[in-house]
Amino acid sequence: SQQGEEDPQALSIQEGENATMNCSYKTSINNLQWYRQNSGRGLVHLILIRSNEREKHSGRLRVTLDTSKKSSSLLITASRAADTASYFCATVPHSGGGADGLTFGKGTHLIIQP
């Protein structure tokens, strides 16, 4: 399977609930990034977490990274209808690189029911 696989593929929850998405990867990383893509639109960079960090917060977003398990999770608290989108994790390899080295998963499609 490919680097940066999100799980679940699709998630539907009620507005106000928390949404959790997971990402697994295979090789050593320098950092891991989460992006959001609204239907038919471009990607929005949400958060970057480095390999030596375990947790990061940004507003209603909380990202964790477990390098021993090669996995990351994205938690969106108090979800809103506007959070409906596809969420992608992307990894940058330990060998370096930046936005040129991003390996994306297929994404988790999140639907927030009003």
- Residues forming the site for other proteins (CB under 8 A): 2, 4, 31, 33, 35, 40-45, 48, 88, 90, 97-107
Contact of 36 with 86, CB cutoff 8 Å: yes
Least distance (Å) between residue 34 CB and other proteins? 11
Q: What are phi and psi of 77, to 5 degrees?
A: -90, 155
DSSP string over 70-104: TEEEEEE-S--GGG-EEEEEEEEETT--STTS-EE
Location of structure tokens 């990894």:
91
Nearer to other proteins, 42 or 114 (CB): 42
Least distance (Å) between residue 91 CB and other proteins? 11
Nearer to other proteins, 57 or 106 (CB): 106
Nearer to other proteins, 40 or 114 (CB): 40
